[in-house]
């Protein structure tokens, strides 16, 4: 470890990319979107700038997400995206190559893992490490993962929900389902189309989820209302309607059942000694979509195990990358590979 080696942790998410620098915290939080020109396949914009183009681009520019369901769908674009973020985080006067630690989904194949390492090396890393997301989420949530103690972590991101039981720095049982924030938003879009004949965009759906969404029905007094605007399917004209929390609960129920099913499956595969630990400690929930109102209550209702939200759930994985980088020796069991 040279004195000049910069360190960067990257939470390579389906929806957002966060870059963490030990000592400075999260220096960058931008959407994982890249705008590419169709003619010469050139990369025009990355991150926020590219996201503002989505749905508004002329035909010759495509704005898309190179990370599909948490894994690299397009290698070249992911490499360019990593290079852009590494450069942006380090600033233009940096001549030293950084050590980079990147998060990967729990279900990642060895080929996909190598792709991430190669992309990071090509994008300018001196050494590249990858660690599975649930492990980083647990570290970022303040769990002491090295102990002989079972912890369950449920990380609900944009593209995937990772459920894992961790003990002694490794994953004992885990599953990853492609049901998370994006799918929940789509469920709201579909429900409003079916119920109200109204077309709304993903952005509006996400607003509804955040402002009035809930995982379980609420009493009439506690119901939140929101006026939403969209386009009428029949007349084709703009129209607004008022929608309440309990309608959103109906819209989300199918997706949430998937997430609960994943949790139950992992509990099912957990050795009895560790299951006992999980009952004592509860389930830790991380990731942006774990912030849905009353979701921890739903998990408790359906599994019998209490669940609680980690502090700063959106940033747990990114924080975990930073902590793991500062203590590479402590976590060497959990770090998969380096070049």
Q: Is 149 part of any known ligand binding site?
A: no
DSSP class of residue 132?
Answer: E
Going along the chain, which residue ranges are E strands?
Answer: 7-12, 16-21, 25-31, 34-37, 43-46, 61-64, 67-68, 71-72, 99-104, 127-132, 151-156, 161-167, 170-177, 198-199, 225-232, 238-244, 283-286, 307-309, 337-338
Q: Is 190 part of any known ligand binding site?
A: no
Rounded Cα distance, 300 and 337, in Å: 36
Nearest Cα to Cα of residue 248 among 232, 231, 230, 225: 225
Q: Is 109 part of any known ligand binding site?
A: no
Rounded Cα distance, 50 and 56, in Å: 10
Q: Is 16 part of any known ligand binding site?
A: yes
Chain mean position to CA 181? 8
Q: Is 206 part of any known ligand binding site?
A: yes
Find out whether 239 and 247 touch, Cβ atoms under 8 Å: no
Structure token digits, residue 244: 């309440």
Counts for the chain of helices (H) and strands (E), in that order:
10, 19
Q: Is 209 part of any known ligand binding site?
A: yes
Q: How many CB atoms lie within 10 A of CB 149?
A: 17
Rounded Cα distance, 234 and 237, in Å: 8
Q: Is 207 part of any known ligand binding site?
A: yes
Q: Is 150 part of any known ligand binding site?
A: no
List residues forming the annotated binding site: 14-16, 158-160, 206-209
List residues forming the annotated binding site for ATP: 14-16, 158-160, 206-209
């Amino acid at each position: 470890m040279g004195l000049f080696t910069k360190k960067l942790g990257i939470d390579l998410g389906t929806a957002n990319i966060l870059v963490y620098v030990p000592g400075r915290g999260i220096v960058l939080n931008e959407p994982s979107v890249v705008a590419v020109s169709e003619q010469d396949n050139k990369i025009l914009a990355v991150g926020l700038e590219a996201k503002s183009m989505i749905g508004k681009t002329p035909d010759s520019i495509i704005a898309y997400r190179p990370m599909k369901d948490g894994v690299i769908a397009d290698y070249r674009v992911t490499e360019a995206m990593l290079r852009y973020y590494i450069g942006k985080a380090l600033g233009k006067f940096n001549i030293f190559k950084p050590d980079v630690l990147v998060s990967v989904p729990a279900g990642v194949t060895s080929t996909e893992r190598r792709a991430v390492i190669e992309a990071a090396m090509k994008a300018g890393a001196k050494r590249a490490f990858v660690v599975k997301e649930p492990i980083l989420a647990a570290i970022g949530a303040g769990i002491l993962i090295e102990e002989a103690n079972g912890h369950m972590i449920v990380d609900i991101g944009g593209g995937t929900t990772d459920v894992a039981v961790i003990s002694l720095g490794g994953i004992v049982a885990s599953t990853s389902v492609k049901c998370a924030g994006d799918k929940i938003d789509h469920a709201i879009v579909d429900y409003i189309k079916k119920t109200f004949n109204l077309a709304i965009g993903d952005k509006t759906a996400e607003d509804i989820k955040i402002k009035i969404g809930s995982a379980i029905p609420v009493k009439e007094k506690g119901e939140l209302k929101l006026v939403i605007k969209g386009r009428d399917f029949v007349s084709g004209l703009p129209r607004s309607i008022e929608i309440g929390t309990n309608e959103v609960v109906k819209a989300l129920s199918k997706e949430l059942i998937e997430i609960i099913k994943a949790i139950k499956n992992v509990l099912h595969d957990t050795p009895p000694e560790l299951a006992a630990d999980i009952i004592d400690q509860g389930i830790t929930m991380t990731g942006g979509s774990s912030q849905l109102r009353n979701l921890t209550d739903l998990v408790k209702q359906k599994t019998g195990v209490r669940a609680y939200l980690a502090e700063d759930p959106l940033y747990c994985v990114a924080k975990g990358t930073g902590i793991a980088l500062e203590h590479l020796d402590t976590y060497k069991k959990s770090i998969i590979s380096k070049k």
